[in-house]
Chain A
Amino acid sequence: AQRVTQPEKLLSVFKGAPVELKCNYSYSGSPELFWYVQYSRQRLQLLLRHISRESIKGFTADLNKGETSFHLKKPFAQEEDSAMYYCALGFFQGAQKLVFGQGTRLTINP
């Protein structure tokens, strides 16, 4: 079955420190992977997708098919990065499907 695992429910780092939010997935086909972010009192929004290989707000994520991982990284955390982060696996099997992990709440301490 398709599954996304985010092992850390809570992650707290200091401003300026590196950040890594872990995501592992289970899918036998060719996955589409995404990171979504939800800032306080705002809507869930797409942060980045692996296929575009872009960097948004200093965040990057590399798909590692061997380790079935898609970890989100940022070299220097900023206070405005505090939010809820969701990793998601997208695929098409007769219908469009997007499976979310449980999310990681990231807190950046000043």
Chain B
Amino acid sequence: KAGVTQTPRYLIKTRGQQVTLSCSPISGHRSVSWYQQTPGQGLQFLFEYFSETQRNKGNFPGRFSGRQFSNSRSEMNVSTLELGDSALYLCASSPGGGANYGYTFGSGTRLTVV
């Protein structure tokens, strides 16, 4: 079955702009999580969505937001981009529910802010 698909793969944006990243989870998976990966900070949790509801949010400013659609696809948005937002943004899906089965990750979107 198809894996987790993230689009686009690469993005270059200018400071102050906003960006939207997309994630299509594995079919049947209802939980989608987003992570920011940087060499210095490693994998930092952004948020988790389940059945269109944000259940958990990490310690990121309000410029970072997301949503999930009825087909479980998810988007994250970063407004007023800063240079420090340059990172690999990873999406992960899992069946969700009450147990933790581990996640399947996408290839990520590499965002460069100039």
Give the B-binding residues of A (Cβ under 8 A). 32, 34, 36, 43-46, 49, 86, 88, 90-92, 94-103
Contacts and interface: CB of A to CB of B under 8 A. Distances in A.
Interface string B79-112: 0000000000010101010111011111110000
B42 A96 contact: no
Q: Is the interface of A mostly helix, strand, loop or mixed?
A: strand
23 contacts: A36-B105, A43-B106, A43-B107, A44-B90, A45-B104, A45-B105, A46-B102, A46-B104, A49-B102, A90-B100, A91-B100, A92-B98, A95-B48, A96-B33, A96-B56, A97-B45, A97-B56, A98-B45, A98-B92, A98-B102, A100-B35, A100-B42, A102-B42
Interface of B: 31, 33, 35, 42-43, 45, 48, 50, 55-56, 90, 92, 94, 96, 98-100, 102-108
Contacts of B56: 94-97
A71 B9 CA distance: 33
The 9 closest A-B pairs by CB, nearest first: A95-B55, A90-B100, A95-B56, A100-B43, A44-B105, A32-B100, A102-B42, A43-B107, A34-B102
A50 to B, nearest CB: 10
A106 to B, nearest CB: 15
B113 to A, nearest CB: 22
Given A43-B107, A43-B108, A86-B43, A96 B50 contact: yes
Contacts of A102: 42
